[in-house]
């Protein structure tokens, strides 16, 4: 990392990276772009070595504050996000590693988080460009590191582009869809009070989109979505959202459909949501009416429902309570 006795300062590598990324951005000619790509790779690798070390170098204890200061001064994070796709595979991996370290490592991470809050385009690019398979997994990793911060999670979930995640979880590429769902679940379950407020404020738009996931033709999407729905409704801070959800007959019919899904795993997850509709002591009349109309079908259906779960005492008890409640209607 030195040349003829001269050892660049950590900030110098950030400046080199910024200069190289600007070369790519300018896109004047193929040679200039190629130089930008190569120089970016060298600079980002040097930053990674400073932060993590390698076979020949120990991590630099003093590098982080200098790197963060220069990163913020030059707004290099925005450049990294914007031109990540132009970099070669190894450089993209190193960008992800360096970015995550900057967002995570104390005591300077608060400065980086504040910088991202002031430059929301960094998060927006992650949400918009996840559809690009070349960089999707890198963006997913960086996004999840960002939303460990409640402030950045709130920024992300309130962006219009957050709704793109509903599409990404149904991508044909299973690896990318799974990664997107990991991000989707993470942002909805990590900061419970913040999410509770979000769900109450954005109830209609969120659950309109969510309904499509529950009826998806994709098995993995349906299974993950009904399980996540159960987790969300049973989170104590989401009580008011749960009561609103289980008061809607369209939601009840949707869950009853999932009870008959070809997958026993999906049936079982749907059961845990269905029981809340039935056992609610303050069921709205319209919910009672739907259950009453389906009473003659529900009783024999539930009587035979997953009777092979002989070891699951809680399930057997809950199913018995549901049957008793439905018979009373």
Closest by CA position to 43, among listed 104, 91, 6 = 91
| Burial readout 127-159 (b: 16 or more C-beta within 10 A, e: otherwise) | bebbeeeebbbbbbbbbbbbbbbebbbbbbbeb
| Burial readout 214-238 (b: 16 or more C-beta within 10 A, e: otherwise) | bebebeebbbbbbbbbbebbebebb
- pLDDT at position 106, please? 95
DSSP code string of 299-311: HHHHHHTTTT-TT
Q: Is residue 14 part of a domain?
A: no
The answer to whether 102 and 53 are in contact (CB under 8 A) is no
- The two three-digit tokens of residue 127, written as one number: 């949400």
Q: Is residue 294 part of a domain?
A: yes
The Cα-based distances of 53 to 4, 8, 48, 111, 249 in angstroms read 21, 16, 7, 23, 58
The answer to whether 60 and 10 are in contact (CB under 8 A) is yes
Q: Is residue 98 part of a domain?
A: no
- pLDDT at position 8, please? 83
Q: Is residue 32 part of a domain?
A: no
Q: Is residue 248 part of a domain?
A: yes
The DSSP letter of residue 45 is H
Q: Is residue 222 part of a domain?
A: yes
- pLDDT at position 133, please? 93
Residue 309's domain comprises 209-329
Report CA dihedral (218, 219, 221, 222) to the nearest 10 degrees.
110
* Cα-Cα-Cα-Cα dihedral sign, residues 50, 42, 45, 134: positive
The Cα-based distances of 229 to 35, 61, 141, 256 in angstroms read 49, 44, 23, 14
- The two three-digit tokens of residue 41, written as one number: 């790779």
Q: Is residue 146 part of a domain?
A: no
Q: Is residue 219 part of a domain?
A: yes
N- to C-terminal Cα separation, the chain: 77
pTM (predicted TM-score):
0.93
Please report, in tens digits, the pLDDT of each residue of the chain (329 residues total). 444 445 789 999 999 999 999 999 998 899 999 999 999 999 999 999 999 998 888 888 899 999 999 999 999 999 999 999 999 999 999 999 999 999 999 999 999 999 999 999 999 999 999 989 999 999 999 999 999 999 999 999 999 999 999 999 999 999 999 999 999 999 999 999 999 999 999 999 999 999 999 999 999 999 999 999 999 999 999 999 999 999 999 999 999 999 999 999 999 999 999 999 999 999 999 999 999 999 999 999 999 999 999 999 999 999 999 999 999 99
The answer to whether 285 and 278 are in contact (CB under 8 A) is no
What CATH number has the domain bearing residue 328? 1.25.10.10
The answer to whether 169 and 177 are in contact (CB under 8 A) is yes
DSSP code string of 134-203: TTHHHHHHHHHHHTTSHHHHHHHHTSGGGGHHHHHTT-SSHHHHHHHHHHHHHHHHSSHHHHHHHHHHTH
CA distance 173 to 158: 26
* Number of separate domains in the chain: 1
Question: What is residue 97's three-state secondary structure?
Answer: helix
- pLDDT at position 3, please? 45
């Amino acid at each position: 990392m030195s040349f003829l006795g001269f050892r660049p300062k950590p900030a110098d590598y950030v400046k080199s990276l910024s200069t190289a990324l600007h070369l790519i951005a300018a896109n004047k000619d193929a040679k200039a772009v190629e130089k930008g790509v190569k120089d970016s790779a060298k600079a980002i690798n040097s930053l990674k070595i400073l932060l993590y070390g390698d076979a020949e170098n120990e991590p630099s204890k003093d590098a982080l504050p200098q790197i963060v200061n220069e990163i913020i001064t030059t707004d290099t994070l925005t450049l990294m996000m914007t031109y990540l796709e132009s970099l070669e595979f190894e450089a993209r991996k190193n960008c992800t590693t360096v970015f995550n370290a900057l967002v995570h490592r104390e005591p300077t991470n608060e400065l980086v988080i504040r910088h991202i809050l002031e430059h929301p385009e960094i998060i927006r690019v992650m949400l918009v460009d996840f559809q690009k398979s070349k960089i999707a997994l890198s963006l997913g990793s960086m996004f999840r590191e960002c939303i460990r911060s409640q402030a950045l999670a709130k920024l992300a979930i309130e962006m219009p582009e957050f709704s793109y995640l509903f599409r990404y979880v149904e991508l044909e590429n299973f690896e990318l869809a799974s990664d997107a769902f990991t991000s989707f679940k993470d942002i909805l379950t990590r900061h419970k009070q913040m999410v509770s407020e979000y769900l109450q404020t954005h109830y209609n738009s969120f659950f309109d989109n969510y309904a499509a996931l529950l009826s998806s033709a994709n098995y993995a999407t349906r299974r993950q979505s009904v399980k996540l729905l159960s987790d969300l409704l049973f989170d104590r801070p989401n009580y008011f959202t749960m009561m609103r959800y289980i008061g809607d007959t369209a939601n009840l019919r949707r869950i009853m459909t999932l009870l008959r899904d070809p997958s026993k795993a999906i049936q079982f997850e749907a059961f845990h949501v269905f029981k809340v509709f039935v056992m609610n002591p303050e069921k709205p009349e319209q919910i009672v009416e739907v259950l009453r109309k389906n009473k003659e079908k529900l009783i024999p259906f539930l009587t035979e429902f997953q009777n092979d779960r002989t070891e699951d005492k809680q399930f057997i008890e809950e199913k018995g309570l549901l049957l008793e409640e439905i018979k009373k209607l």
